[in-house]
Amino acid sequence: MNVLITAASRRVSLIRLFREAVQPFGGRIIAVDYETYSPALFFSDQWYQVPLVKDPSYLLRIQDICNKENITLIIPTIDQELSIWAHAQNEFKKKHISVSISATNTIRTLTDKWLTYQALVHEDIPFPHSFLPDKNIIPDHFPLFIKPRKGRGSIGAFPVRNQKEYLFFTDYIKDPVVQTYLEGKEFTVDALFDHMGKLIRCIPRYRLVIRSGVSDRGKTFINTRLTELIERIGNTFSFRGAINIQGKIYNDSISFFEINPRFSGGIQLSAAAGTSFAKLLVNEEMGVPMTPSLLDYQAGMLMTSYEDSLFIDTDNKLINPPIK
């Protein structure tokens, strides 16, 4: 049971979770990235450099690695490659390689924030009012929030407090979408779906401190209304594998503002509070069916993260090999 994780970058926690998951089956974790000094690479059993995802040779290189390493499961990790993997999953399936990715139409909708808004509003799922900027119409109500339609994380996302800022950011950001600004406590929900698209796990956490779009500190909580809404979202789209959903809670009001059909950057907190999604996915590939358990996790589990470093000498060898 060998697993390939794409765009390893800083995803040390994800690689550790999958290493633990494959150990009972004698499996190995293979990591790939464009950058040869990405820290997560050094926590894998084997790593390879690959072209950027837009390179025509990207999938061919991945296929070569899969053949060499006898890969069973591929875990895509970044927004830019989700569409490519959604379209390629059937070809890899013919080679007995599973790709943990949602359906093509789901990926197309959720990687475009304007299409996401339209889909959720149609299903009466709470989402901030959104619109595409019109140079001939300047809003007179603020604050607003502006972000790229196909952006990732917090890159290019800004609060807009007046007309001057609105004019600047609508010109500064390429292909933007504008949303009503949401008040309240920000949260992320880590959710897991099986091969049939059934919701298996749903673990929400408050984003207490956010750094570069990723939770640096978080705390799990239980909200049955939120869980019900996640189930409705799960019935709206065709999900497979891990996803994360972001939103805010203000008093008793819940609203979502982003759905990412991939693992979150804070998945280690969900694993600490409940069941490792990595372990469930690996077991599913080994023929063990997933059993739904939406409230079986520890509320109040706190995560606080810190920086650490690896050191590489002139021979490209680690001076301080990481504890894997």
Mean pLDDT over each residue of the chain, to the nearest integer: 94
Write down the pLDDT at residue 313. 85
Structure tokens at 254: 């819940």
Write down the pLDDT at residue 58. 97
268-296 in b/e form (b: 16+ CB < 10 A) is bbbbbbbbbbbbbbbbbbeeeebeeebee
Ranges for all domains in the chain classified under CATH 3.30.1490: 129-180
User: Is residue 15 predicted with pLDDT exceeding 80?
Assistant: yes
Instruction: Please state at what angle helix 12-22 crosses helix 277-285, rounded to 10 degrees.
Output: 40
Write down the pLDDT at residue 315. 81
Which percentage of the chain shows pLDDT scores above 70? Answer: 98
User: Is residue 11 predicted with pLDDT exceeding 90?
Assistant: yes
Would you say domain 2-101 falls under CATH 3.40.50.20?
yes
Q: What is the CATH number that goes with domain 129-180?
A: 3.30.1490
Over residues 18-31, mean pLDDT = 97
66-118 pLDDT per residue, tens: 999 999 999 999 999 999 999 999 999 999 999 999 999 999 999 999 999 99
Structure tokens at 90: 């059937």
245 compared with 324, residue with greater pLDDT: 245
| Length of the chain measured in residues | 324
Q: How far is CA 25 from the centre of its chain?
A: 26
Structure tokens at 71: 């890969």
Over residues 265-289, mean pLDDT = 95
181-233 pLDDT per residue, tens: 999 999 999 999 999 999 999 999 999 887 777 778 999 999 999 999 999 99
Ranges for all domains in the chain classified under CATH 3.40.50.20: 2-101
Please report the beta strands in 60-143, taking only residues with DSSP state E, as ranges in sequence order.
Answer: 71-75, 98-99, 130-131
Task: Of 70, 50, 45, give the one whose Cα is nearest residue 60.
Answer: 50
User: Is residue 323 predicted with pLDDT exceeding 70?
Assistant: no
Q: Into which CATH architecture does domain 183-304 fall?
A: 2-Layer Sandwich (3.30)
User: Is residue 28 predicted with pLDDT exceeding 80?
Assistant: yes
Over residues 46-73, mean pLDDT = 97
Q: How many CB atoms lie within 10 A of CB 222?
A: 14
Ranges for all domains in the chain classified under CATH 3.30.470.20: 183-304
